[in-house]
Amino acid sequence: MIAEILSIGDELLTGQKIDTNAQFICSELAGVDIGVQRIIVCADSEEAIVEQFTDSLKRSELVLVTGGLGPTRDDRTRKSAQQLLKRGLVFDREIYGRTLERYTRRGQAPPAFLRDNAMIIRGSVVVQNDLGLAPGMIIPCGERFQGHHLVLMPGVPEEMEAMMRHTVIPFFSGKSGCCIVHSHIKTTGIGETALAEIIGQIESRLPEGTSLAYLPHAAGVSLRVSSIGTDRVSVESDNREIVEAIAKEAREYVYAITDISLEELIGRLLLSAGLRISTAESCTGGLIASRLTDVPGSSRYFKQGFVVYSNASKEKTLGVRAETLETHGAVSEAAAAEMAEGCLVRSGTDIAVSSTGIAGPDGGTGKKPVGMVCLGLALRDKDGNIDIRTSAFYAHGDRLRNKLRFSEAALRMVWKELTNSLMQD
């Protein structure tokens, strides 16, 4: 079954409010194998709504509408549906009784609009509103629209969500014939285009019904593999085959084939290895620590972080040698190494990661341009000896993007180290 979602409301078109209802509905429908082909935000005018209802019902079997439903003057959804379908309203005694009871129970006089609120478009299935006043409606649209359905719901998220879960999804889930599987592949350290080159061969021989989407975001690229068909077993096997092929081909960059963040994965690896981590940051200014502590329960493995922005603090707090800073500069792998080592020793953790670089927009030189970062990693082995690794990385963006990319590179270094050392054990 193919669906379309309409969100009605002028406030969504002026940038004052963001439409979150559509996302909720999409994700509920995906769960019962109903695909959404379009989401449309439309102004709160009868003309626009009727025009949009017509377009949408022509091409989609199921049109779900939120907003513009309710007893106030600017709510025009019900009226537009009536106009389009040329149907009258009928008084629903049960809705009236239920809403009236809410007022009488509280000893309040019922408002005048309560009768109008209980008027339902003829021929529709009522969707109870347990959290508000305006009832929803599932309206079979008859011959003109080939038996397609129009579903009207209020725009208040909680009211709409309860209606979707309790009535709309159960009503339509029985009616869908096909099965959909989505998988996620999370990558780090590679851009969309370079990734596309690596997995181009796989992409060019996707089985029928399977598609691949690139979901780039500020820190990296996620992939989604979607498979659709009528037989669940073959849909799942098609999907798994592609996911495994991509994970193998791009193994250097794929950190998970489930929808988790890199910092969550690092948390799991640290917990399973019984290791604790600390951070020593210059150019990332606390962002690595902040990302690690974005994960619930991170206090079990993240112990401490140092933000050493000034040279004085690098020396005094982490024991970086003045000579190193003079000879190699604060932005150097030598400084990163001493920062990581000092951090490890002072925090008493098993692993420490450090960053020192130039986030920009100023401060770059020919040899050390804006966007350059040096990273350090200090590890305590089983005998208590400290191993140090360093690397350099270049980003290309504005200050905030560079900070984010730097932090991603640092987390990547930690991830690689943890997977390597876990594999050796």
Minimal distance in Å, beta carbon 423 to a copy of itself? 28
Site for a copy of itself in 171-210 (CB under 8 A): 182, 192-194, 196-197, 200, 203
Q: At what angle do helices 77-85 and 46-59 cross, to 10 degrees?
A: 60
Considering only 77, 183, 226, 324, the residue that binds a copy of itself (CB under 8 A) is 226
**Going along 45-148, which residue ranges are E strands?**
62-66, 89-91, 119-121, 125-127, 136-140
SS3 392: strand
Q: Does 72 bind a copy of itself (CB under 8 A)?
A: yes
What's the Rg (C-alpha) of the chain? 29
Q: State residue 386 phi and psi, 5-degree precision.
A: -105, 125
Q: Does 232 bind a copy of itself (CB under 8 A)?
A: no
Q: Which is nearer to a copy of itself, 173 or 290 (CB)?
A: 290
Site for a copy of itself in 77-96 (CB under 8 A): none
Q: Does 47 bind a copy of itself (CB under 8 A)?
A: no
- Nearest-angstrom CA–CA distance, 35 and 152: 18
Q: Which is nearer to a copy of itself, 237 or 311 (CB)?
A: 311
Site for a copy of itself in 103-142 (CB under 8 A): 105-106, 111-113, 117, 131, 133
Cα 45–chain centre separation: 32
Q: Does 62 bind a copy of itself (CB under 8 A)?
A: no
Considering only 32, 33, 46, 71, the residue that binds a copy of itself (CB under 8 A) is 71
Site for a copy of itself in 356-375 (CB under 8 A): 359-362, 369
Q: Does 22 bind a copy of itself (CB under 8 A)?
A: yes
Q: Which is nearer to a copy of itself, 192 or 326 (CB)?
A: 192
- Nearest-angstrom CA–CA distance, 242 and 248: 10
CA distances from 404 to 40, 291, 297 (A): 33, 10, 22
Q: Which stretch binds a copy of itself (CB under 8 A): 145-153, 267-275, 374-382, 389-397?
A: 389-397
Q: Does 249 bind a copy of itself (CB under 8 A)?
A: no
Considering only 90, 215, 386, 422, the residue that binds a copy of itself (CB under 8 A) is 215
Neighbours of 70 (CB within 10 A): 20
Minimal distance in Å, beta carbon 51 to a copy of itself? 9
Would you say 103 and 46 are in contact if contact means Cβ atoms under 8 Å apart?
A: no
Minimal distance in Å, beta carbon 391 to a copy of itself? 15
Considering only 93, 217, 367, 382, the residue that binds a copy of itself (CB under 8 A) is 217
Site for a copy of itself in 304-363 (CB under 8 A): 304-310, 312-313, 317, 346-348, 359-362
- Nearest-angstrom CA–CA distance, 307 and 283: 9
Structure-token match 């500020």, residue found:
218
Residues forming beta bridges with residue 393, ordered by sequence position: 373
Q: Is 190 left (phi over 0), alpha (psi -120 to 50) or beta?
A: beta
Considering only 389, 394, 419, 421, the residue that binds a copy of itself (CB under 8 A) is 394
Q: At what angle do helices 399-424 and 262-273 cross, to 10 degrees?
A: 30
Considering only 50, 173, 275, 285, the residue that binds a copy of itself (CB under 8 A) is 285
- Nearest-angstrom CA–CA distance, 353 and 122: 67
For a copy of itself, what does the binding mask look like between residues 287 and 306, x meaning CB under 8 A?
A: xxxx-xxx-xxxx--xxxxx
Minimal distance in Å, beta carbon 307 to a copy of itself? 3
Using CB under 8 A, count the residues that bind a copy of itself: 114
Neighbours of 105 (CB within 10 A): 8
- Nearest-angstrom CA–CA distance, 102 and 136: 18
